[in-house]
Amino acid sequence: MAQLGAISSSSSTNFVFNGANKPEPALGRNQICYSNKFSSVSSWFNGNALVHNNLNLTRASNNKVIQAVAASEKGVDVSVSPKTGGGLRGKLNKVVLAYSGGLDTSVIVPWLRENYGCEVVCFTADVGQGIKELDGLEAKAKASGACQLVVKDLQEEFVKDYIFPCLRAGAIYERKYLLGTSMARPVIAKAMVDVAKEVGADAVSHGCTGKGNDQVRFELTFFALNPELNVVAPWREWEITGREDAIEYAKKHNIPIPVTKKSIYSRDRNLWHLSHEGDILEDPANEPTKDMYMMSVDPEDAPDQPEYVEIGIVSGIPVSVNGKELSPASLLSQLNDTGGRHGIGRIDMVENRLVGMKSRGVYETPGGTILFSAVRELESLTLDRETIQVKDQLALKYAELVYAGRWFDPLRESMDEFMKKITETTTGSVTLKLYKGSVTVTGRTSPYSLYRQDISSFESGQIYDQADAAGFIKLYGLPMRVRAMLEKGI
C-alpha cells in the first residue's frame, strides 16, 4: 500500500514515553526511554517516530515498537475506581485491550474500569491498516481513561510468519477467500499476550461481537499461549446494543466521542487485503458499488496496456520482484500497488462463518492474488502428481484451521512442517501478465524442474518409447475391460 510506505519495519527498537516524569524500567535491547509529558506521536517518517510538543527525541534504529504511557484523564468519570476493591462485575488488576481508537473501543476502556475496577492498557497492532488508523491514538486512549498505550509494528512478522506460510500451503477458504482477516488475528493476539506479560496484566479484552469469527480467533490464541489469562468480551456482557447506546454511554461517562465519519460498510484492512461487509452487501443479489473499492481500480478503468511482473521464489516463499530482493512486507506492499493499478484481486463471495451463519463479503487482495498465481504455477514444474494432489487436499484443512482461529493448533503446525518439506525444491521464477483484472502466467523456470523437453517432445527419444504405452493402457484399463466383459456375458 502506497500510504503505508512511511512506516518501515526492520530492526527492533522500542520507544517508551512516560507521562509521570520518571523513566520506565529498562525494557531490553534496542529500547529507549523518555520521561517528559507529551501530546502524541504525531508524525512518522522512514520508520522513525517523530514526537512533537517539546519532547526531545533520540533516534537509535528503525522502530519495531512504540510504547506510550498516558496518564488517565481527570475528566473521565467511572463509578468505581481501580483503587477500590473491584467493579460492578468483579475485580481484575490490569487488562490489555485490543484498541483501534474508534467508538466501540473508546467506550470499552471506561466500561472495563467501571465493571472490573482495573487499569486498562490499550494495545494497537500495526499490520498495515494505514497511517490514518494510527494517528492520534495516544490522545484518544488518554481521553478514554487508559493508563498506557502500546503500539507495535507487526508488518514484517505478519507477512513472514503468517501470510507466507499460508501462501506456501496454498490455503484458500471455500474456493475464494485468501484468509486476510483470519491470518491477522493470531499475530495481534500473540502480541497482546506478550504485552500482558510485559505490563503484568492478568486479563485481555477485545471488541469483537458475539456473531463473528474474530472472537474465536482472538480467544483461541489467548488459550493456546497463556491459559491463565482472563478474557473479557464486552459485547457478550454489556447492555450496549448498538452505536446510539455506545454514544449515550460515552456522554454519561464524559468520554470524548471520536470525530470520524461512520462508513456504511464494515471494513477490515491490513497489508494482505481489505474486506467490505454490511449495507447493500447484506443482500447477495446486490452488485457492489464502484466507489466502494479502495485498494484497486475498476478493471474497466485499468490501463489499456498489460504489465509484466517476475516473481522470484525460494522454497515456496516469494523473495523478489523483477529481480530485486525485498523484505516480506515491502514485497507485498509493492505488489499491492502494482496489482491495484490493474484491478487485480477482487473477490465477491458468500461464506460460511465459523459460528454457523452465512455472510456476504467483498475482498480486495491484489498482491496476494499475484503471489498465489506465481507459487501455484511454479509448483506445476517442481511437484509430481501425487504430491500436488495430497498438498491440495491438505490445503483445504489448513485453510479451515486458519479460518477457525486454530493457528497455534498442533495439527496446523505439523501440517506446516509438511508443507515446508515438500516445497523445498519449489524455487525459481514466474512471469505474469497483469491486464484489466486478470493474471495470466506467461513463463516459469526452476533449477529443480521435473519437466524434461527430451521426454515431453512428440519426437521419439531414448528415455520414453511410445510403443511401451500399449502395455500400460491394457493394464491400466483392465478393470474397465473386465466389467464390460461381465455386462456383455463374455
Residues classed as catalytic: 104, 185, 214, 266
Q: Classify the phi-psi angles of 383: left when phi > 0, otherwise alpha if psi is within -120 to 50, otherwise beta.
A: beta
Report the length, in residues, of the chain.
490
What HEC string does 401-426 produce? HHHCCCCCCHHHHHHHHHHHHHCCCC
DSSP letter assigned to residue 162? I
Half-sphere exposure of 5 (CA within 13 A, CB side): 8
Sign of CA dihedral 185, 187, 189, 192: negative
**DSSP per-residue codes, 195-258:** HHHHHT-SEEE----TTSSHHHHHHHHHHHH-TTSEEE-GGGTSS--SHHHHHHHHHHTTPPPP
Half-sphere exposure of 116 (CA within 13 A, CB side): 25
Half-sphere exposure of 64 (CA within 13 A, CB side): 14
Q: How far is CA 169 from CA 8, 158, 273, 346, 418, in A?
A: 27, 16, 18, 21, 9
Alpha helices in 275-362, H assignment, sequence order: 328-341
Cell numbers 469469527 correspond to: 213
